[in-house]
Structures are given as structure tokens and as C-alpha cells.
Amino acid sequence: MNRVLYFLTIIFVPVIFSWWLFIPMALLSVYLIKLPFEIVVVGFLLDFLYYFGDGFFAKHLLTLFSLILIILALFLNKKVHWQKTI
């Protein structure tokens, strides 16, 4: 249940306040959940909402950030022993 509430929070807080809040919330999500694949969906949705430019990387900035974050979490999953809290 906590994971669903955090998923809804990570969608609505950047929509209400600003896009840059997605970055610290995604980092916090990786720390708390360990492998939160739902941040890719949120990054994809926020890319449609905010305009960053016309290039491929600019159009999909938040999606690429969340994918890189998940890849780093997968790589560090074997190296770092952290506790899953949510």
C-alpha cells in the first residue's frame, strides 16, 4: 500500500509544483524501494507533460534519467546491501 501511495505522490507532486522535484523523489524512491520500476512510467508521463526541447534526449529526459537510475540500482544491487523499506 505504501508503494502505491508513493507512486501517486511521485506523479502528482511534480505535476503540481515543478518537474525538477521528480529527480529527488526518484532518488528517494530508489533508496526506499530498491528497484522501483514504476518511476520509468512516471518519467514517461512527465515527459509528455513538460517540454524540454526537440532532440531525442531532450524529449525523453526524465524517462532516460529514470532508466539510468534503474540500471545503476540493478548494478549496485549486488554490490551494496541495503534494506528495502517500502
Report if residue 18 sits inside a domain.
Answer: yes
User: What's the whole-number mean pLDDT along residues 28-39?
Assistant: 87
Report if residue 85 sits inside a domain.
Answer: no
What share of the chain has pLDDT > 70, as a percent?
Answer: 94
Confidence (pTM): 0.85
67 CB neighbour count, 10 Å cutoff = 16
pLDDT of the residue at 85: 65
Report if residue 29 sits inside a domain.
Answer: yes
Report if residue 86 sits inside a domain.
Answer: no
User: Is a pLDDT exceeding 70 seen at residue 36?
Assistant: yes
User: Is a pLDDT exceeding 70 seen at residue 84?
Assistant: no
Residue 62 corresponds to which amino acid?
Answer: L
Which residues form the domain of 71? 1-79
Confidence class of residue 78 from pLDDT cuts 50, 70 and 90?
A: confident
pLDDT of the residue at 64: 95
Report if residue 84 sits inside a domain.
Answer: no
Q: Do the Cβ atoms of 6 and 29 come closer than 8 Å?
A: yes
State how many domains the chain has: 1
